[in-house]
Structure 1
Amino acid sequence: MAAANRTTGPIAGAGGPLRPGADPLPPRSGRATARHSRIREVAVHLPERRESAEEIEDRLRAASPGIRVPSGLLRRLYGLEERLVAADDERASDLAAHAVDKALAQAGIAPEEVDLLLFAAVSADVQEPANAHVVAAKTGLTCPAFDLTNACNSVLNAIETADAFLRAGTYRRVLIACGEVGSRFSRWKLSGPAEVRTGIGALSGGDIGAAVLMEAAEEPGVLGGAFFSNSRGWPAATLFNPYQVRGEPLGLHIDSERLLGSFQSLRGPAGRWLEEQGRALKECDLVCVHQPSVPFVSTFCEWMDVPEHLIVPTFARTGNIAAATLPLQLVRAQEQGRLHPGAQVALFGLASGASAGIILLTW
């Protein structure tokens, strides 16, 4: 299948980004000085509840008595130990708002100092208005706000969008919020091999909130990126809107084999772009990649020649947390002391559709 691609931003020489307490942001009127962007803060909010793989399998047996669910199935197929599950009264906007509050507190930034809010996630409270407004109301933000969605690449595309705005001088600070409630996309009533094949993967979805604060900078933090699509692969993973499409099945449907094939077609364009930049993922200090399962991470490392020690594993104890996967890995890397000024970081996103994206950073 043919893959289309798009490149955003130049790959610039590595330079140290502005750090907290350094020079102030370029003035809004000084477009010429706001030539770069950087990630200032990243934060996540993890709900307290955990649901083990055994508990998930027990629920499936109770809801689908006509199918056989072998013990340890989710561990063998996906490497899942447990997933994060939000409280029944928590919405995607609540999880995102908690992460936003944390990111602002870490940065010492007041809500009125944010110039733009982007909500980027698979999950959503509402079809209308933009979910960004719901998050803004819960966090005291008064800036312009809108949603940006591209399945599990939503946050990565939001970073791309924020970088363009910041380099153009349109805004000086952009906050990206993400709230995922993937556990609610689970399909419990399955009958027959076909439904099991497309329904079992949905049982690994997890819940989380994430936030990424980006700023204009005088030195490059975001070095550049490229995005690729194979849109003929869109039927491989679907979550239809029941208010818009009648007769389509409800819940998340994943044809894992077909989805993997649609990802595989994007390997070549991504690899060629890296070669054109004179970059190799194995030369980075950290590689963050979307993690729909533990085995997929190993497959990705083989595809892109990445040593597994450069990856921050998250899936086994969270489940598939969709667009929040990359922010969580950055937070885990910070906790492990792997992110330091000057560290070279690659964010590699893969999403149903299918789409792939790479953003290179100097931390």
Structure 2
Amino acid sequence: MLIKNIAVSLPSKLVTNEEVIEMIRSHSVGFDGEIDRSLRTIKTLLDRSGLVTRRWCGSHESPIDHVAMATRKALSESYLRPEHIELLIFVGIGRGFLEPGNSHMMASALGFVNAECFDVVDACMSWTRAMSLADSLFKSGQYRNALIVNAEFNMLAGGPLYPANFALKNHAQIEYTLPSFTIGEAATATLVVPNEPDNFEFVFRGKPAAADFCTIPIHGYEGYCHPTERVGRNGDMRFTSYGHELHKNSEEITEIFGKLSVPKSEIDVVFTHASSKAAWHGYGVKAGVEDKMFHIYPETGNLVSASIPAALAMARDSGRLKRGDRAACWVGSAGMSFNVSSFRF
């Protein structure tokens, strides 16, 4: 499989850590405790993670606009047009529908009239899972091209984060709410073709025992699991994430990097899930690849499933990633699941 083209569309509203702190202050009416102390803690942790700004949609923007821009960019350097796309996969958390799949609605809206469609929902691993599936489908000879798109716009009013998670009740809530304040927004589109069938290597590992560290439960979730005290701490359809526990239980991240068959010396650039620059730099030091890492987290925040494709697109646009370079993608996700993959761009 070969990435024919990749594109990202970022919204226009730039939001700093200081602005997020003020949003939390204004929404945390009736806070039980010393609000200034809690806000100082949040600001310190955001700064230490390496986060400076994130992008959110302004009032004039919508997710479908950014998906349209990203898909148009992805197709612009090829002869392919929307009606030529044979497979469209929508990935990630940001979505407008539980039924039908968002892929069908996107295909209808954007003119992908001949595409077969399905969704992949696997938290921040969604794009990587879809890439692995597309690679396997190409090897079976079913498709001549595929487009993988996402629309991670989770800060929209009434969504899983805002404003509910910005209305803190007490200091203890920071433990399972802090990652909410790192989220940015983006849409990406990745055009892939079945050229070079042995180009991609994927290594996955799962850790389902840690499934309750990061959740967005829907109403009635209790009948689909064995509930724990962690699930749903912020309520149904609200993001609950124990960020410290996630990173503390991620020893598989560095272990899995050693499973790649390609030597580290041959890797030109490493792209990571954008959950924390500080944490991923630490993983990079342990794996011996810290000097090869390309971080977007300081300027975009956590883009959820768009983190890796956005980083690829931004690195390509900046000249950091060039055709023929050997790239590695490195992800740790809720679930928990871990991946490292490698390919020639």
What TM-score range do you get, normalising by the shorter chain?
0.7 to 0.9
Q: TM-score, normalization: structure 1?
A: 0.83
The answer as to whether partners of 1:97 and 1:177 remain within 8 angstroms in 2 is no
Whether 1:210 and 2:172 are equivalent positions in the alignment is no
The answer as to whether partners of 1:172 and 1:215 remain within 8 angstroms in 2 is yes
- Work out the CA distance in 2 between the residues paired with 1:225 and 1:354: 17
The answer as to whether partners of 2:281 and 2:290 remain within 8 angstroms in 1 is no
Match of residue 349 from structure 1: 331
Match of residue 140 from structure 2: 168
How far does the alpha carbon of each residue in 1:239-258 deviate from its partner, in whole angstroms, 9 at most, with x for none? 11246559932421111221
Query: For 2:202, which of 225, 229, 232 is the aligned residue?
Result: 225
How far does the alpha carbon of each residue in 1:295-315 deviate from its partner, in whole angstroms, 9 at most, with x for none? 12212212321133x222211
How far does the alpha carbon of each residue in 1:133-169 deviate from its partner, in whole angstroms, 9 at most, with x for none? 1211221002111101111010011110111111211
Match of residue 4 from structure 1: none
Whether 1:259 and 2:246 are equivalent positions in the alignment is yes
Q: Call closer, same or farther: CA 1:311–1:271 in 2, change over 3 Å.
A: closer
- Work out the CA distance in 2 between the residues paired with 1:359 and 1:224: 5
The answer as to whether partners of 1:44 and 1:211 remain within 8 angstroms in 2 is yes
Helix, strand or coil: the match of 1:273?
A: coil
Following superposition, the deviation at residue 86 of structure 1 comes to 1.4
- Work out the CA distance in 1 between the residues paired with 2:305 and 2:265: 23
Match of residue 53 from structure 1: 17
Match of residue 333 from structure 1: 315
- Work out the CA distance in 2 between the residues paired with 1:265 and 1:224: 18
How far does the alpha carbon of each residue in 1:79-131 deviate from its partner, in whole angstroms, 9 at most, with x for none? 22111101347554443232112211232311111110000111111111100
- Work out the CA distance in 2 between the residues paired with 1:231 and 1:91: 34
Whether 1:273 and 2:245 are equivalent positions in the alignment is no
Q: Call closer, same or farther: CA 1:111–1:297 in 2, change over 3 Å.
A: same
- Work out the CA distance in 2 between the residues paired with 1:74 and 1:179: 27
Match of residue 198 from structure 1: 176
- Work out the CA distance in 2 between the residues paired with 1:282 and 1:264: 22
Residue type of the alignment partner of 1:305 = G
Residue type of the alignment partner of 2:302 = N
- Work out the CA distance in 1 between the residues paired with 2:265 and 2:61: 39
Q: Bigger shift: 351-360 or 249-258?
A: 249-258
Residue type of the alignment partner of 1:255 = Y
- Work out the CA distance in 2 between the residues paired with 1:243 and 1:105: 44
- Work out the CA distance in 2 between the residues paired with 1:241 and 1:232: 20
The answer as to whether partners of 2:211 and 2:334 remain within 8 angstroms in 1 is yes
Following superposition, the deviation at residue 292 of structure 1 comes to 0.4
Following superposition, the deviation at residue 74 of structure 1 comes to 5.0
Match of residue 33 from structure 1: none
What does 1:272-311 align with in structure 2 at a 5 Å threshold? 272-274=258-260, 277=261, 279-308=262-291, 310-311=292-293
Q: Call closer, same or farther: CA 1:295–1:208 in 2, change over 3 Å.
A: same
What does 1:54-203 align with in structure 2 at a 5 Å threshold? 54-65=18-29, 66=31, 67-68=35-36, 69-70=39-40, 72-73=43-44, 75-88=46-59, 90-142=61-113, 143-184=115-156, 185-186=161-162, 187-203=165-181
Following superposition, the deviation at residue 205 of structure 1 comes to 0.6
Helix, strand or coil: the match of 1:330?
A: helix
Residue type of the alignment partner of 1:166 = F
Match of residue 228 from structure 2: none
Residue type of the alignment partner of 2:284 = C
The answer as to whether partners of 2:253 and 2:283 remain within 8 angstroms in 1 is no
Match of residue 12 from structure 1: none
Following superposition, the deviation at residue 282 of structure 1 comes to 4.8
Match of residue 32 from structure 1: none
Helix, strand or coil: the match of 1:101?
A: helix
The answer as to whether partners of 2:125 and 2:337 remain within 8 angstroms in 1 is yes
- Work out the CA distance in 2 between the residues paired with 1:294 and 1:46: 19
The answer as to whether partners of 1:183 and 1:203 remain within 8 angstroms in 2 is no
Following superposition, the deviation at residue 322 of structure 1 comes to 0.7
Following superposition, the deviation at residue 43 of structure 1 comes to 0.4
Q: Call closer, same or farther: CA 1:231–1:52 in 2, change over 3 Å.
A: same
The answer as to whether partners of 2:138 and 2:144 remain within 8 angstroms in 1 is yes
Q: Which runs of 5+ in 2 are unaligned?
A: 224-230
- Work out the CA distance in 2 between the residues paired with 1:264 and 1:120: 26
Following superposition, the deviation at residue 318 of structure 1 comes to 0.9
Following superposition, the deviation at residue 291 of structure 1 comes to 1.5
Identity across matched positions, percent: 24
- The alignment yields a C-alpha RMSD, in angstroms, of 2.1
Residue type of the alignment partner of 1:338 = R
Q: Which runs of 5+ in 1 are unaligned?
A: 1-36
Following superposition, the deviation at residue 64 of structure 1 comes to 1.4
Residue type of the alignment partner of 1:303 = K
The answer as to whether partners of 2:184 and 2:302 remain within 8 angstroms in 1 is yes
